[in-house]
Amino acid sequence: MRNSELERLDGLLGTWKLTLSDAWFLEPEGTEVYGSAVVEWLGDAFVVVRSELDGELEIAIGRSDARDAYTALYHDDRGVCRVFAMTFDGSHWTLSREDPDFHQRFVADVEPDRIAGRWEASEDEGATWRKDFDLTFERTNEP
């Protein structure tokens, strides 16, 4: 049986076109990188985001009922593994981590066929933030 709080993520399911833009590290200015993502159930316990965008990454989203909280486990093809706290209310989606190397967050507005988000980082424990890049999801099919 699926967890009812995880079922709230059903609006994210499907296939998406990704656009990475406004990145401080890409030249020339205005460069965009395109990719794709698939968001689907993994059994009844997790929602998985698999994406290709200048490399492959996976995010497995689960839930701690006792803590009333989502948790996202991140892994990419560089071998990087990270744990993010996550919130999702149907129209806003956040991922955040506060680790010793740096703090990082993803903040997005969610619509039925579009997710407009941005990745940010802080190297001073969240006192100041810099935008790394914008990340837009555009639905290419229904779940």
State the DSSP code for 113. T
* Phi (first) and psi of residue 12, to 5 degrees: -85, -15
pLDDT of residue 141: 79
* Distant-in-sequence, close-in-space partners of 35: CB < 8 Å, separation ≥ 6: 17, 18, 20, 51, 52, 53, 54
Q: Please give the share of the chain, as a percent, with pLDDT higher than 70.
A: 99
pLDDT of residue 54: 85
- Spell out the domain ranges in the chain: 4-139
Write out the E strands in 14-80.
14-21, 33-42, 46-52, 56-64, 69-76
Mean pLDDT within 99-126:
96
Mean pLDDT within 78-84:
96
CB 1 within 8 A of CB 101: no
Mean pLDDT within 40-56:
94
Mean pLDDT within 3-20:
94
pLDDT confidence tier of residue 142, bands split at 50, 70 and 90: low
CATH of domain 4-139: 2.40.128.20
Mean pLDDT for the chain overall:
94
pLDDT of residue 143: 56
Q: Is the pLDDT of residue 38 over 60?
A: yes
* Distant-in-sequence, close-in-space partners of 53: CB < 8 Å, separation ≥ 6: 18, 20, 33, 34, 35, 36, 37
